Amino acid sequence: MNIIYMLLAISVIVALVFFVAFIFSVKEGQYDDTYTPSIRMLFEDELIKEKAPEQEKPQNEHTNNQHQKLK
Amino acid sequence: MDKCYHCGDNCSNTAITHLDKVFCCNGCKTVFDILQENDLSYYYNLDESPGTSPSLNEAKFNFLENEAIVERLLEFNEQDTQVVSFIIPSIHCSSCIWVLENLSKIDASVKNTQVNFPEKSIRITYNSEQLSLKNLVVLLCRIGYEPSISLDDFEKKEKKVDRSLIYKLGVAGFAFGNIMFLSFPEYFEVNEFWLEKFKYIFRWLMFAFSLPVVFYSGRDYFISAYKGLRSKILNIDVPIAIGISVLFIRSTAEIIFDLGTGFFDSLAGLIFFLLLGRFFQQKTYAFLSFERDYKSYFPIAVTRIFQDPEKSTSEEQAQIYDLKTGDRILIRNSELIPVDSILIKGSALIDYSFVTGEAEPVAKRSGDKLFAGGKQQAGIIELEVIKPVEQSYLTQLWSNEIFSKTKQSNFQSLTDRISKKFTIGILSIAFIATLFWMIADPSKALNVFTAVLIVACPCAIALAAPFTLGNLLRIFGRHKLYIKDTSVIEQMSHIDTVVFDKTGTLTSNTKNLISYEGITLTEQEITLLTSTLRASNHPLSRSLYKMLQENDIETLDEFEEEIGKGISGTINQDSIRIGSFDFVESSNPTEDKLATKENYKRTEVHISSNNTYKGCYIFYNQYRNGIQEIFDRLKQHAEIIILSGDNDGEKRHLEELLPKDTQLLFNQKPKDKLEYIKQLQKLGRKVMMVGDGLNDSGALAQSNVGIVISENINVFSPACDGILDASRFKDLYDFVKLSRKGVSVIKWSFLFSLFYNIIGLLFAITGNLAPVVAAILMPLSSISIVIFTTVATNILGRKLMIKKAKT
């Protein structure tokens, strides 16, 4: 029956491991924002490709175009 | 009427149809195009009309060209990796998160973006060699997500999040659970062989688990009790601290001398529940700040002009803190004047409504002194700085001692008041019971003494207020009254005087109720009037034009604007003069003066056509909906006072709205308001201040409860105890009433927990308090109090909601 000492030790150690994990996760800031990740995980790569070839356009030209439109 | 596909606003006659979709303006259409071109049109599938109209004022962010400022704003800056965080007030739905986190699809030099939705903030990693910070901000503006960057961001503050309560709660919960398991066997099995053998190890393990609970998690209660005793106050933490120490000492003594199992589980449970109450009490609105001062209203930088000896001028973006007396600065339309200065060049039309409460923009001429905080409403002006920002008229207000004091220090909560009587009562019961047992059976005396102190530990009383008020705080939040902390609700229930600001609080900021007095204008005159108004940028012209814009418009042959006086326009042979009485009348001085001097405080726009005086348009403040109702209901419970920074032009109008004998005070400077509230408090009044602008901030800080009314809770509001969404203004009285009901819920729970205490005391006094009884009684009383308060406040809150649905 002395095995119970070992079982006790193991159970306490396992409990402590989870406890330490909890403390670390709090410290890392995992609980600071509990809302955004729940939304983020639902996003996939939802890009709607309509004009695939035009995609290659250099980025700067893009923004220039927009600039003119705004004016 | 069609709704804009991008922003969901009603499209008026300016609707643009593009790719089968309707847009309210070019800005919205452009955002749609940008997203479409970058394969991001899924944005519109996530939420309906999720967008915000982009602002097109990109010059506003010119200061981001200044390297020193960029350096201060960046969180991380090394070679080709830069990290920056912004607050973006327009983040409001999952579409926003999606499109912002896909920002790299629009511009490849953005490496990574992460949105924090509750804080409405975004953290962007980008490459500054390919994309400057200014262009990054401009990119965000173009898709309708303009970051707010103010002087406040400039002072790098290490944001220290205090997580110690979560750690303490974690430790207590962890130990509580483990101690429960270890204590269970002895409750159910007595004299069982194996248990007899192992119970010692179980007991010492429980002892070990309880150590961090008492000395780490429960530390605050000892500190608070000590502080209370030192200042001769018996606060609620005194009996709690006594209870904790007696529990710990007696339990330890029991296991040392093998008298029993001790009360370790009750001990850990007690501290765990108490901390849970504290945790629940803390409800923070991450996206709101209750501590803001002028810094979050001011920009980081302005344009400074250098005049070289060779007569060439150069501009640069200068930090506000670097401005020195004598510097020349340039302020564009709708920019804020950050320092006290003198107008050198240009015509100024300054809107001080937020700073002083004056509803009308003020016209200034060169040589006039301009105070910091005003907003320029006309073209570009050039100013000379006369005082650095820290010494300006507006910022001086913040040196008042009221801003450095914490408000709640002298407020005694209901719990504190009851705990005094409670502690004295418990201690006397403990001593009397001990005295009795000393005579009857001295061996039991110590047992009874400790048992009384254990069982009377006011766990349930200490939980009543946090859970009631914490839940009310959430209910208020759901109804768009965002309260700083729970003590504010308790303060609110004591209010007997309500002080209102006028401009921006009782009225909306713009005057848009317009009536005409005088000779009726012919159709032709109206056309001329409308066409002339269209050319002017003056706020009054614009609101008058808005009313008249249905009329025909013709091209003007001539148009002239005299800043601060009026405008004139000519078509063919007809001419019209619009503006102040003197301006309109100067063309024909012999005409009988129609306007009497008495009316000068009203906001009027006079019209004369072909040099004949016609009449005037009178502008009234638009009062918020339901204002009369709220006054009528409030006056039964509290005195109403109006403190306005504006002139008394609206006095008569206000007197009609208000209940009789209401005090109305006009031309109140920020300092006057503060002093006035102080005087009221000296008379023993509990004052609630309802305001909106920087001019109220002193009064808001001085009052017992300072509430800010805000049209848009994301934009700046001064430091306060609570922020109320303007749409819920008419429910102000309901909130006060609910806070009063909340306090009576607390009183009921006190009675409730007293009942538990009496049961416990019966066990204790008779010397029969077994650990298992304590282990059942303590959590039971705590949990039932939690349930009672939560259910009661939810029912009260629902009543508020049902009424809302009816109206």
CA distance B709 to B37: 41
Q: Is A56 on the interface with B (CB under 8 A)?
A: no
Among A15, A49, A10, A47, residue whose Cα is nearest residue B104: A47
Phi, psi of B447 (to 5 degrees): -55, -50
The whole-number pLDDT of residue B400 equals 65
Half-sphere exposure of B182 (CA within 13 A, CB side): 31
Instruction: Write the DSSP assignment of B49-113 as a string of letters.
Output: S---PPP--GGGGGGGG-HHHHHHHEEEEETTEEEEEEE-TT--SHHHHHHHHTHHHH-TTEEEE
Superfamily of domain B513-620: Calcium-transporting ATPase, cytoplasmic domain N (3.40.1110.10)
| C-alpha distances out from residue B24 to B4, B51, B128, Å | 5, 12, 35
Instruction: Write the DSSP assignment of B703-737 as a string of letters.
Output: SSEEEEEESSTTS---S-SEEEEGGGGGGHHHHHH
Chain B 538-567, residues with CB within 8 Å of chain A CB atoms? none
Judge whether residue B346 has pLDDT over 50: yes
**Mutation to test the B interface, candidates A17, A40, A51, most B Cβ within 10 Å:** A40
CA distance A6 to B723: 57
Q: Residue A39 and residue B97: Cβ atoms within 8 Å?
A: yes
Q: What is the mean pLDDT of residues B592-611?
A: 63
Among B30, B29, B21, residue whose Cα is nearest residue B3: B21
* B16-149 placed in CATH 3.30.70.100: yes
Shortest alpha-carbon distance between residue A13 and chain B (Å): 12
**Which residue's structure tokens are 């004009």?**
A51
Q: Where in chain B is the domain with CATH 3.40.50.1000?
A: 481-508+624-740
> Which is more confidently placed, B580 or B228?
B228
CA distance B129 to B79: 8
CB-based contact B52:B144 (threshold 8 Å): yes
CB-based contact B106:B99 (threshold 8 Å): no
Q: Where in chain B is the domain with CATH 3.40.1110.10?
A: 513-620
Among B696, B693, B685, B691, residue whose Cα is nearest residue B729: B691
CA distance B721 to B689: 10
- pLDDT above 70: percentage of residues in chain B: 87
The whole-number pLDDT of residue B597 equals 43
Chain A 3-42, residues with CB within 8 Å of chain B CB atoms? 4-5, 8, 12, 15, 19, 22-23, 26-27, 29, 31-36, 39-40, 42
**Which residue's structure tokens are 């016209």?**
B363
Q: Residue A31 and residue B166: Cβ atoms within 8 Å?
A: yes
Per-residue model confidence as pLDDT tens digits over B633-676: 888 888 888 888 777 777 777 777 777 777 888 888 778 888 88
Q: What is the mean pLDDT of residues B574-582?
A: 79
Among B275, B186, B224, B175, residue whose Cα is nearest residue B782: B275
What angle in degrees, to the nearest 10, is found between the helix axes of B133-142 and B26-37? Answer: 110
Q: Is B714 on the interface with A (CB under 8 A)?
A: no
Largest pairwise CA distance in chain A: 85
CATH level 3 topology of B481-508+624-740:
Rossmann fold (3.40.50)
CB-based contact B117:B91 (threshold 8 Å): yes
Q: Residue B115 and residue A36: Cβ atoms within 8 Å?
A: yes
**The two three-digit tokens of residue B540, written as one number:** 């009054």
Among B658, B656, B577, residue whose Cα is nearest residue B614: B577
Strand pairing class (B381-385; B328-331): antiparallel
CA distance B242 to B459: 12
Per-residue model confidence as pLDDT tens digits over B735-778: 888 898 898 999 898 888 888 888 888 888 887 777 788 888 88
Shortest alpha-carbon distance between residue A36 and chain B (Å): 5
- How many CB atoms lie under 10 A from the CB of residue B235? 22
CA distance B746 to B725: 27
Strand pairing class (B497-501; B687-691): parallel
CA distance B513 to B543: 9
Judge whether residue B452 has pLDDT over 80: yes
CB-based contact B119:A33 (threshold 8 Å): yes
Of A4, A42, A62, the CB nearest to B198: A4
The whole-number pLDDT of residue B510 equals 56
Chain B CB contacts of A43 below 8 Å = 97-98, 101
CB-based contact A66:B30 (threshold 8 Å): yes
Q: Residue B105 and residue A26: Cβ atoms within 8 Å?
A: no
pLDDT band, very low/low/confident/very high, at A56 (cuts 50, 70, 90): very low
Q: Where in chain B is the domain with CATH 3.30.70.100?
A: 16-149
pLDDT band, very low/low/confident/very high, at B210 (cuts 50, 70, 90): very high
List the CATH code of the domain at B294-402: 2.70.150.10
Of B39, B107, B116, the CB nearest to A36: B116
The whole-number pLDDT of residue B174 equals 93
CA distance B289 to B119: 10
**The two three-digit tokens of residue B105, written as one number:** 């699809």
Shortest alpha-carbon distance between residue B91 and chain A (Å): 12
Q: Residue A35 and residue B118: Cβ atoms within 8 Å?
A: yes
B530 CB-near residues (< 8 Å, 6+ apart): B545, B548, B549, B551, B552, B553
Q: Where in chain B is the domain with CATH 2.70.150.10?
A: 294-402
Among B328, B371, B326, B325, residue whose Cα is nearest residue B348: B371
The whole-number pLDDT of residue A62 equals 42
Tell me if the pTM is above 0.90: no
Q: Is B87 on the interface with A (CB under 8 A)?
A: no
> Is residue B62 packed enough to be buried (19+ CB in 10 Å), middle (13-18) or exposed (0-12)?
middle
3-state secondary structure of B264: helix
Per-residue model confidence as pLDDT tens digits over B537-562: 676 777 777 777 666 677 777 777 77
